[in-house]
Structure formats: structure tokens, C-alpha cells
Structure 1
Amino acid sequence: MLGGKMQFDPNQIKRRFRLAMSDYATRLVLPRLVKHLREFAPGIDLAVSQASRDAMLVQLIAGELDLALGLFPEVPESIKVQPLFSEGYICLADKKTIPDEGGLSLDDWLKRPHVLVALRPDSNDEIERALALIGKQRRIAVALPHWGVAADLIPDTDLILTVATRGVEHLKQFYNLRQFSPPLELAQFTYKQGWHSRQDNDPAHEWLRQTVVDCSQPM
């Protein structure tokens, strides 16, 4: 006992948590999170789903989710968010289609077809909004919801993929691809976890949130 309250012991809890995240977050966070749970809280089970930002917020409010990972630029008052990490963007293209040094000018970048990774093919994401501010638009040749396969579309094509920097950390096997900085001003974004305020003081939920923070940091 501590201060009249029972200390929380994650090793003793038996509970199922419902999480939502993209396959980008799944790749970055889930392996470390699962290993941590198996070692320190083996009685915790995870049910992981994928949804758009808006859908995740609706599910949090409805009590259908315990925790959601995403960008969440705006949230309802009942939803709490916590930053996990911040990062920027990187472009990928086949080496044969770009100069030996550097990347592409904005005009050349816009002349090329692009791959968009988004749950909705008509998504107006951060890149589209940045382009709109300067009166530009890119051609989306392929729109798909899967981060994991997006880079596989680039070799031997003229396609360009612009994604979060940590999203390409696993792509060392693509010797025929080159990374370069986007030729337009793209602000860094902050990836967050969100939950409903009714779970603020739930000891197990609080422990899980802190564990997600720890497992989200770069290695």
C-alpha cells in the first residue's frame, strides 16, 4: 500500500485493450510494445485495428477504442492527446530517374506521378495542403492505404513517394532507390496518442499510455 492506495502491478493485470493505428505506426511501435507487454504485463491482450483519423475519434468517444495513434490536429474536448514523436518528410524515387546529385526541383517534382498513402484515396493530407498554399497540385497516380507496400511500387518506375522519414527506415534493401528532401516547405508533424478523458485515471490505461510513449522513441 502507498498513500492508502494499492500500487499498480502490470504483471498482475488481465485485460484487453483496443488500439487503432495505421500500418506506419504498427511498424514503428507495435513490435516493441508487444515485446514489452510479454515481458512486463503478459496478461494484457491487444486488439489492433486501422481507421481514418475522424473514425478513430468517433470510436474513442463511443467507447469502441481505448487508445488511438495518429496526427489529430484537432480533437473534441472530451479527447485527450499526448505527443509521441515529431518528424518530417522524405522523398523516394528510382535512382535512374533523378540526378546523380541532390533531388528534384519543385517543377520537376510536380511533373512526375506520385504515390499517396492514405486510408481515403481523396484524402487532403498535409502535402496537398502545403501545395495548395502555393497554388500547386500534384498528380496522384496511385493512392493506397498501405505504408508497408508503397515503396515496392517505386523501383523501375517514374513514381515518387513522399512519406514520413521514419517510415523508410526499413528500406535499406532497396539499393535502387534514392532518398531526397521534398522540394517544398513541409512542416514537421507530431504523431500523437489519443484517448477519452473518462480513462484519464485508469491505472492500467495510464501505464499502457506511458509504455506506448516509451516504445515510440527512436532506437
Structure 2
Amino acid sequence: MEKLANIDLNLLVVFDLLYQEQNTQRVALRLGITQPAVSHALKRLRHLLEDELFERTSQGLQPTPRASRLHPGIADALARMNDTLNLCDDFNPAKSERTFHINMTDIGEIVFLPRLLQHLSRHAPGVSLNTVRSHHNDLKNEMEEGEIDLAVGLIPQLGAGFYQQRLFVQRYVCLMREHHPLAAEEFSLEAFRTAHHAVVVARGTGHGIIEEQLAHAGVVRPVRLTLPHFAAVPYIVSSSDLVVTVTDKLAEATRTRFGLAIREHPLTFPEIPINLFWHRRFHQDPGNRWLRGLMFSLFSE
């Protein structure tokens, strides 16, 4: 182990090529260095391994018995190292059986997963997805450790150490059943104030801005149901007279299937940027690159 710590990996590459070529000039050409540099490397190897290693003969440099014993192990180690390094550059989605972990909300699952899974079934049938929900420091740590590959949404806490790419922006609309008494007319601020509402309190997602803006505008409306997530909203709204404020992407994704009506919101809210996030440690990871490229090609606007 002591000798290994003192040997430059490049010296072993020179040793392997000298064994193959038996000529310092040809080795220099293959490595793109000068012949004196090859000779200097051989001199260092002789000193470190305490053997001549190669003797000059009329047939060129011939390995000593010790060099002949060393070469199979060195050549095998270099080949395995080369295979390992090249493995980092390969990702074949058609053959991969990798499971990717994506942090997203229930809205994200409704908006992204149907199209994403359709694509995977055709082009990457062995690839699996696992959606997770982590918040704040947990999310940062899990992405840094590689436990989560990508995060998608409005996640302002992912700053230093993270890359991000804009997919699209969302806006807020009002969602109600198609034959709601208020769906046949303009949905005014007064109609909004008097309608019965469902409210989603999705902590840690940025959607709290809805209640903040309403409070700031002094708008009060009767709330009949409070939910911790959006997934149940289309089921509930389609079978009641409740009105709910949701993103336009969720509204469009559920309108036809659940028989819903979308109305412009009578109040103006800031648009919501939806970004794709990944940790800089995995910026060059081939699988991560492939998945975020796929997400961008499918969903960017």
C-alpha cells in the first residue's frame, strides 16, 4: 500500500503501453507527449519498483521477469478503471431499470405524471418513478445526498448549490361544477364573495399567497370546507356548489373528466413560476440529464 500511494496513475499507463509497444517513441505518440517524458516516467518507475522493468535489446525494450509478472494485474486494473469511468458517460433509457425520485406536489402529480408515464412506457419501459414530498431543509439535504433526483414547483428555498430551469408559469382561476348556478354568468367579485368556497391549505407550497392576497384586499367569503391538498378538489367540486381557487394547469387537467367550469378570478394574483431543480453534484449525471431534458421537452412553454 505504501508503494501504491507513491505511484502516479499516469506511470502505470506508461508501463502498460511500454509493455505493448516496446518502444518509447511509439508510446510518446500514443500519449501525445515527448519521448524524453516517457523516458523520465520509466526512470521513476524503475526507482519506485526497484527493478529495470525493461531492457534494451535488438528487438526493442523487452520486459524483465518482474515486469512480466506485474503487467497482467496492472493491465486488468487499468481496464476496469477505464470501464468504470466510461460507465459514468452512458445512460440508455431504453435499457435502464433505474428508479428516479422526484419531489412534487399533488398538483404536480396530476399535471406531469400522465404524459410522463406515457412517454416512459414507449421509450423507457424499465424506468420507474417515485414521487415524494419533502420540505425545506429535508429537501435540500435529500437532493444533496442524491436521495431525490429532481424537484419541480415553486420552491424558493432551493438557492445556493442548485440549478433551476423554468418550465412554465401558472395563474389562479376559479373552478366550479359545469352547471353551477354562477357558471352561466360573469364571475364577478360580488359573486366570489357570496359563493360557498372550498379552501386548500397546502403548507410549504407557496399557495398560501391566495389567503394573503384576499386578506390584503379585505375580501371575506364563506368557507365551507378546508383541505390540506388539491387532489380531492375535482371530486368534491363536481358534486357540490363549492367554488375553489386553483391553478390553471390543475383546472385544465381536470375540467373535461369531472365536468367542471373554469372562470377568470375576479382578483389579480402574482403568476406562479414552476421550475425544475437539481443539485449541482448531479449536474453531469447522465440519467439526471436525460430526465430533466425529457421534462423540459414535454412541459416547457
Q: Deviation string for 1:124-167 (max 9, x for gaps)?
A: 61212322443445554323244332022224644211111121
Amino acid at match of 2:163: K
From 153, 162, 172, the equivalent of 1:89 is 172
Evaluate the alpha carbon distance shift between residue 17 and residue 150 of structure 1 in structure 2; reply closer, same or farther with a 3 A threshold.
Answer: same
Percent same amino acid among aligned pairs?
28
Q: Report the CA distance shift for 1:33/1:123 in structure 2 as closer, same or farther (over 3 A).
A: closer
Q: Is the 1:121–1:143 Cα contact (8 Å) retained in structure 2?
A: no
Alignment pair present for 1:78 and 2:161: yes
Selected match of 1:164 from 242, 247, 251: 247
> How many pairs were matched up?
212
Which whole-Å CA distance do the structure 1 matches of 2:276 and 2:105 have between them?
Answer: 12
Which residue number in structure 2 is paired with residue 101 of structure 1? 185
Gapped regions of structure 1 (runs ≥ 5): none
- Please give the TM-score of this superposition, normalised by the length of structure 2: 0.60
Which structure: greater strand fraction? 1
Cα deviation digits, residues 152-210 of structure 1 (max 9, x gap): 222464421111112122322444x4321111111221211211111111111111101
CA distance in 2 between counterparts of 1:199 and 1:7 reads 14
In the alignment, is the contact (CA less than 8 A) between 1:90 and 1:163 conserved in 2? yes
1:184 is paired with a residue whose SS is: coil
Moved more, 75-84 or 32-41: 32-41
Aligned residue type for 2:165: Q
Once the two structures are TM-superposed, the CA of residue 82 in structure 1 deviates from its matched residue by: 1.3
Q: Does 1:40 find its partner at 2:112?
A: no
Contact kept? 2:136, 2:157, Cα under 8 Å: no
Structure number with larger C-alpha Rg: 2
Corresponding position of 2:214: 131
Displacement after TM superposition at 1:91 (Å) = 0.5
- Aligned mates of 1:53, 1:89 — CA distance in 2: 24
Residues 148 and 99 of structure 1, relative CA distance in 2, 3 Å threshold = closer
Q: Secondary structure at the match of 2:293?
A: helix
SS at structure 2 position matched to 1:10? coil
Assess if the C-alpha contact under 8 Å between 2:214 and 2:220 holds in 1.
yes
Alignment of 1:1-219 (within 5 A): 8-52=91-135, 55-94=138-177, 95-98=179-182, 100-105=184-189, 107-120=190-203, 125-136=208-219, 138=221, 140-155=223-238, 157-169=240-252, 170-175=254-259, 177-217=260-300
RMSD: 3.0
| Larger relative contact order, structure 1 or 2 (CA cutoff 8 Å, min sep 6) | 1
* Structure whose residues are more often helix by fraction: 2
8 Å contact from structure 1 (residues 90, 179) kept in 2: yes
The answer as to whether partners of 1:53 and 1:70 remain within 8 angstroms in 2 is no
1:46 and 1:186, CA in 2 relative to 1: closer, same or farther beyond 3 A? same
Report the counterpart of residue 51 of structure 2 in structure 1.
none
Check the 8 A contact 2:166/2:300 in 1, yes or no. Answer: no
Note closer, same or farther for the CA distance 1:82–1:54 as it changes in structure 2 (3 Å cut). Answer: farther
Q: Structure 2 regions of 5+ residues with no counterpart?
A: 1-85
Alpha-carbon distance in structure 2 between the residues aligned to 1:65 and 1:32: 21
Question: Residues 173 and 42 (structure 1 numbering): CA distance in 2 closer, same or farther, change over 3 Å?
Answer: closer
CA, structure 1 residues 182+63, in 2 after alignment: closer, same or farther (shift >3 Å)? same
